[in-house]
Amino acid sequence: MVSTNHPRYESLNRRDLLVEGYKSGIVSIHGLIAQGRGEAFDYLLGEKTSDTARHATKVACAYLLTAKHPVISVNGNTAALVPKEIAELSYLTQIPVEINLFHRSEDRIARIAEHLHAYGTENILTGVDAVTLPKVASQRAAVDRRGIFQADTVFVPLEDGDRAGALVRSGKTVISVDLNPLSRTAQASTVTIVDEVTRAMKNINTSLRRFAEKDCFDELEDLKSSFDNRKNLDASCRTLLRHLQSVVS
């Protein structure tokens, strides 16, 4: 148990969730290494949500609320870290959750489905009716016919492969959360939220609840049309640089 007074309590607590997830067969061994990479980038970003990320979060909500066939693509790390937030997002928006793994195993998919369901997600697709996406080399190419395959908008809280570019090239809107603004996923997505996934998911759900309170069609369209992911990523890179400069000097 990590004391809540520890300066890095949140980060250490997330590490424990991943380790538990690995032990219960939800997280893959490569998911643990990926978590470490995320920790390092979050540390360099000061472990807080930037204004840039906050803006990208609102744009992501605009896309999710105006999509015809949106889907949420969940992997092991996402299920371990934010099961409650995924359930809330799916409930608020009525968007289905597809379990889609880079290191695919039917056993792990079943365990993740059980875990998500225990936390309240109702609408779960497990790729039983699977088709193969063209130009995706990993096992993530196997997608559900009713989910990612027919989706116009795919929200990927944590992408663990090279798939974002292929999804965008096939005409889909891709929204991702990625702490490395220089990664291929970050660079290829339509909207990239450069933030830690727990903070990002909480902010998304808060924004969605606010949008639900009012007639906001024009605001959502404005958010989408005025957004430039390249500029937003550049701003995240500058945030990273500024924070590094401040701790170095």
Contact residues for its own copies (CB under 8 A)? 15, 18-19, 22-23, 29-30, 32-41, 43-44, 180, 182, 234, 237-238, 240-241, 244-245, 247-248
Nearest to 160 by CA among 134, 197, 117, 203: 197
Question: CA-CA distance, 117 to 207, in Å (whole number)?
Answer: 24
Minimum CB–partner distance for residue 40 and its own copies (Å): 3
Q: Which is nearer to its own copies, 209 or 231 (CB)?
A: 231
Q: Which is nearer to its own copies, 8 or 209 (CB)?
A: 8
Beta strands in the chain (DSSP E): 70-74, 97-99, 124-125, 130-132, 142-144, 153-156, 173-177, 191-193
Question: CA-CA distance, 124 to 171, in Å (whole number)?
Answer: 24
Minimum CB–partner distance for residue 137 and its own copies (Å): 12
Evaluate whether 143 touches 128 at the Cβ level (below 8 Å).
Answer: no
Minimum CB–partner distance for residue 241 and its own copies (Å): 6
Q: Which is nearer to its own copies, 32 or 130 (CB)?
A: 32
Q: Which is nearer to its own copies, 70 or 161 (CB)?
A: 161
Inter-helix orientation angle 51-66/217-225, to 10°: 120
Q: Which is nearer to its own copies, 84 or 243 (CB)?
A: 243
Minimum CB–partner distance for residue 180 and its own copies (Å): 7
Q: Report DSSP state, residue 40.
A: H
Minimum CB–partner distance for residue 183 and its own copies (Å): 9
Strand partners, 74: 99
Question: CA-CA distance, 40 to 234, in Å (whole number)?
Answer: 19
Tokens 């090239």 belong to: 169
Q: Which is nearer to its own copies, 18 or 95 (CB)?
A: 18
Q: Which is nearer to its own copies, 28 or 93 (CB)?
A: 28
Evaluate whether 157 touches 177 at the Cβ level (below 8 Å).
Answer: yes
Give the SS3 label for residue 173: strand
Minimum CB–partner distance for residue 69 and its own copies (Å): 34
Minimum CB–partner distance for residue 237 and its own copies (Å): 4
